[in-house]
Amino acid sequence: MELLLVFRLSDEWFGLEVDDLQEIVESPELNFVPRAPDWILGAINFHGNIVPVLDLSSFMELGDNAYGERAVVLPVGQKALALGVTAIHRIVPLDPDLMLPCQREEQKGLHIRMLYNYDGKMINMLDLPSLLSSLETL
């Protein structure tokens, strides 16, 4: 059974499959990254690796200064990146039947794949490949 990490960006609920992430860290202090773009908050030392932290709320234009000292580190195999979020909610089981499609065109720039109806709460499923590719293009 798939598990889903539910987190918050500003006031919006987002979800990310547990398989797509390495670890959740608490990082109140971030290391300064020189010449980094505005949406890079800084970097953390993740088990000896320097991992930049993306201000996801700001990047997705949901609200500035919404970093809640929690970062979701992506798997080591991929590009070294941590997503700074406002708050981590919990890990919930994912029922594919409760997935709802969403209008991709309307969600452009938001990197939302689908919507997941969890306990009456609509959770935006983060489109990680879209996000990463949009990061690549910048």
Partner 1 sequence: MRVEITYKFIMGFIFVVASIVILNLVVPMLGIAEVWQQLVSTGGAILVGLVLGSLFSKAFTGNIKILNAAAERISQGDLSQTIELKESTFPDETADLADSLNLVNENLKELVGRVRDASVKVSDSAQGLSATSQEMTASSHELSNTVEQISRGAEVQAETVEKSSRLIKEMAINTELVASSSKKVADAVDITAQTAQGGGEKSQQTMQRMMQILQDVERSGEQVVNFGSQLGKIGKIVEVINGIAQKTNLLALNATIEAARAGEYGRGFAVVAEEIRKLADSTTDSAEEITGLISQVQDEGQNVEVSLRNNIQEMDEGRKAINETNKAFEEIIETAVNTQTKAKSIAELSQKQIEGANKMVDAIEEISQVVSDNAAATEEGSAATEEQSAAMSEMAQSAQELATYAETLAENVKRFHLGNDFPVV
What the block records as the tokens of 113 is 């794949």
Min dist CB 2 to partner 1, Å, is 8
77: which residues sit within 8 A by CB, 6+ positions away? none
Q: Using CB under 8 A as the criterion, which residues of the chain lie in contact with partner 1 when the complex forms?
A: 3, 5, 18-19, 21-26, 70, 88, 90-91
Q: Which is nearer to partner 1, 88 or 102 (CB)?
A: 88
Cβ-proximal residues to 6 (8 Å cutoff; 6+ apart), any chain: 13, 14, 15, 88, 89, 90, 91, 92, 118, 123
- What's the min distance (Å) between Cβ of 94 and partner 1? 11
**Which of 31/89 has CB closer to partner 1?**
89
Q: Which is nearer to partner 1, 71 or 110 (CB)?
A: 71
Q: What single DSSP character describes residue 31?
A: B
Smallest separation (angstroms) from partner 1 to the CB of 59? 23
Q: Minimal distance in Å, beta carbon 60 to partner 1?
A: 22
Q: In the complex with partner 1, which residue's Cβ is closer, 27 or 124?
A: 27
Distances in whole angstroms, Cα of residue 92 to Cα of each of 3, 12, 73, 123: 6, 17, 18, 11
Nearest-5° Cα angle at 125, 122 to 131: 140
